[in-house]
A = this chain, B = another copy of it.
């Protein structure tokens, strides 16, 4: 049983990954990372983006939905420290209002591709009975892709940017409130940390890298499992987004959004002691976002919280998992699917 709780999405994913023949020699990383890694340095990822699961029409426009879907997929390319090359998009378009929805999506997809300087390389178009379905394949290239599996005991855990804004937006919407502009924007037009990941990989030895799509706790659980280590996070160090603090009323009530709210698309990485510290100020100047140490890697397994505030938070009920009952209490963070 994983420290993130029994069963659920992660186990189900692993059971699928174990299915079928093993990959041949031209596949360098077959499964279990943000992207598959192919011979010649290509990395490939696929991401589903479903109406009423990942977004709702009442929350964002179709243009923003297209932007967000492409950016979320490109975030997996960032998580390999790879350069984005292109995307393929498979759409299931509801028949009602199909051309208006298509116009919006096309505009948002184009903006996201332009922002990341990558091309739309094809796709598939089909009807959907009612809800919009967007699936994005992201393709990138890396000389030395960074995996989830390289964390070692003694490494430090760092994150880019601030956490919890996207979850705060969802919580506002779910509470019947319109989020403030900056909080809303974090959800509607997230940023894939593509340049940031490569900048870091060129300057320090990043031992493991992941993007925060399922929440810091859940995603560091993936790093811990892939690396065969424990990750110990200090809640007091987590850079809770000011927008999340404002929306939640206090840092303490915003902490669950930062720890377990997914889809911030920031990066979390591990590095040898002191190495990230040496570039943190340059990073902040270059990208305008902080680089923050949030914990350490230790011998053992799983993710745990240690330090002030750790007792108030139940990691067993946190971490984004589509296939468990909605979490409750402190971990009942805003997610579209927690209806």
A residues whose Cβ falls under 8 Å from a Cβ of B: 9, 12-13, 15-17, 19-24, 26-27, 30-33, 35-36, 38-40, 42, 44-48, 50, 52-54, 85-86, 88-93, 95, 98-99, 102, 106-107, 109-110, 113-114, 117-129, 131, 133, 135, 137, 139, 141, 322-323, 337
* CB of A142, distance to nearest CB on chain B (Å): 12
CB of B86 within 8 A of CB of A17, answer no
Main secondary structure on A side of the interface with B: mixed
CB of B139 within 8 A of CB of A38, answer yes
CB of A50 within 8 A of CB of B133, answer yes
Enumerate chain B residues within 8 angstroms of A106, measured Cβ to Cβ: 15-16, 19
Enumerate chain B residues within 8 angstroms of A337, measured Cβ to Cβ: 127
CB of A121 within 8 A of CB of B50, answer no
- Distance, CA A321 to CA B27, complexed state (A): 36
* CB of A321, distance to nearest CB on chain B (Å): 9
- Distance, CA A16 to CA B66, complexed state (A): 12
A46-B46 contact in complex given A125-B13, A129-B131, C-beta closer than 8 Å: yes
Enumerate chain B residues within 8 angstroms of A13, measured Cβ to Cβ: 123, 125
- Distance, CA A141 to CA B48, complexed state (A): 25
